[in-house]
Structure 1
Amino acid sequence: MTPTDRPRPTPTARRADAERSINAILDAAAVGFGRSPDTTMAEIARAAGVGRVTLYGHFNSREAVLDALLERTLAEIDSALDAADPETGPAADALVRFLATPWLLDRFRGLYAAAVRHLGPDHVRSRHEPVFHRLEQLISRGQHEGSFRTDLPRPWLITTIYALVHALISEVEEGNLPSGQAVDVLTRTLLGLLAPYPGQERSDAG
C-alpha cells in the first residue's frame, strides 16, 4: 500500500486528536502557571508533548492559552456549583457545600496571578460573570430566607467575595496560610460577612 492509498483520518478522528492536543496543552499550562506566571509557550509545548506547530495551530499566544485555561477552569467551577445543589436546603448550607468542593485551590493555583498579569484584571473579572450570576441567585435566596444580610447591595457582596477568594489563594501560594486550613478559613469568613445584622427582617434586597 502506497502512502496515497492509506486511509485518511476521518473528520471525527481529527477532531478527537485536536481535542486531545488541546487538553494536553491546557493541562500542561495549568501546571506551568502554577509554578510561574511567566511560563513560556516553549515550556508549555514541551510539557504537553507537542511541537510548536501544533501548539500555535491551536493557540497563537500565551494570552490565548491563558484565556482558554481560565474559561475551562471557570466552567469546572460552574459544574462544581451544580454538584453542590445550591437550590436545595438553606442557602447558608448550600454555600458551605460549594466552598467544600475541591475546585478552589487545585484549579486556581497560579492561574489567577498569571491571568491578571497577562490578560488584565477587567478581562479576568468579566470571565467570572456566569459564576457571579449563580452566586447572586444564592445570596438572593439567603436574603429572602433571612439567613443573609440585606443592608448591603448584592453586587457589593459579590465583589467582596470575589476579592476574598483570590486573596485567600494568594495567601496560600505565598505560604502565609496552610492549604489545609484554607477552606475552613474562607467558609467562616464568608458566613461572617453574609450574616444578618440584628433586627434584620426578610427583604428583597438589591
Structure 2
Amino acid sequence: MPTTDGERARRSDALRNRDAIMDATLACLALNPSASMAEIAQAAGVGRVTLYGHFSSREELIDAVFERTMAKAEAELSAVDLSGDARRAMERLVRSSWRIVAESHALLGAAEVALSSERIRSHHHQPMARVAALIARGQAEGSFRVDQPIEWLTACFHTILHAGAAEVRAGRLTEATAAEIIPDTVTALLSPPG
C-alpha cells in the first residue's frame, strides 16, 4: 500500500519532535543534570504527551540521547589518525576523546545517575575497542607496558577520562587543567615501568 502525503508528514513531524526532544535534553542537562521531563518537554516545544509518546521514561530518554551522542563521538573518533608511533597516536586519541567527554560531561553525569554502569559501558564498546587495539599495537612495538593486561589498561583509560569529567563537574578541576593532565596521566599509565 503506497504511503500517503499525510502519513509522510506525520512521520516527518514525529522525527522532528524526537530530534527536538533529544536536543532539548542535552541543553537542559547542561544547565541542570536533574532536569525533569516537564522541563525538557517545555524546552523542546512539545507537550508531555508527545514527549512520553517517544520516550516512556527519563531513563529511556537519557539512554537514547547518550546512544546518539556516542554515535556522533564514534564518527569523530574514527577520523583520528592513529598511524605512526603508538605513543603519539595515543596522545592524539586521548586529546580527541577528552574533548568529546568534556563537551558531554553534563550528559554523562545524568547518565551515571539514570543508567547502570553496564549500560554506560555498553555504549562505549566501539571507542574502547579502538583504545584496546592501539594499546596492543603499542605493546607489540615496545612503547607501552606489557606487564598488565590490555583489558585492564583499557578500563583505566576509560576511568581516567570519566574521572576527569567528574572532577570538572564537581568544580575541583577546570576543563583547561583536565585537558593538560589527562594525557599526561594516560601516558604515565601506559609507559613501561623503570
TM surpasses 0.5:
yes
1:95 equivalent in structure 2: 90
- Higher relative helix content: 2
Higher radius of gyration, 1 or 2: 1
> Deviations for 1:161-182, whole angstroms, at most 9, x for unmatched residues?
1211111001111111111122
1:24 matched to 2:20: yes
1:142 matched to 2:146: no
One-letter code of the match for 1:24? A
Q: Distance in 2 between matches of 1:105 and 1:40?
A: 23
> Deviations for 1:34-77, whole angstroms, at most 9, x for unmatched residues?
23332111111111111222211211110111100111111122
Question: 2:101, 2:162 within 8 Å by CA — same for their partners in 1?
Answer: no
How far did residue 10 of structure 1 move? 5.0
How far did residue 188 of structure 1 move? 0.7
How many pairs align? 189
1:70 partner SS: helix
Q: Distance in 2 between matches of 1:24 and 1:96?
A: 35
What are the ranges of 5 or more consecutive residues in structure 2 without an aligned counterpart?
none
Q: Distance in 2 between matches of 1:18 and 1:85?
A: 38
TM-score (norm 1): 0.84
1:201 equivalent in structure 2: none
One-letter code of the match for 1:194? L
2:113 partner SS: helix
1:193 matched to 2:189: yes
Check 1:145–1:16 CA distance in 2 against 1; reply closer, same or farther (3 A cut). Answer: farther
2:78 partner SS: helix
Question: 2:143, 2:191 within 8 Å by CA — same for their partners in 1?
Answer: yes
> Deviations for 1:91-117, whole angstroms, at most 9, x for unmatched residues?
22222222333312112x222221121
2:120 equivalent in structure 1: 124
Q: What's the RMSD between the two structures over aligned residues?
A: 1.8
2:172 equivalent in structure 1: 176
Q: Distance in 1 between matches of 2:85 and 2:91?
A: 10
1:64 equivalent in structure 2: 60
Q: Distance in 2 between matches of 1:104 and 1:124?
A: 13
Q: Distance in 2 between matches of 1:141 and 1:154?
A: 10
Percent of matched pairs sharing the same residue:
41
How far did residue 21 of structure 1 move? 1.9
TM-score (norm 2): 0.89
Q: Distance in 2 between matches of 1:116 and 1:174?
A: 14
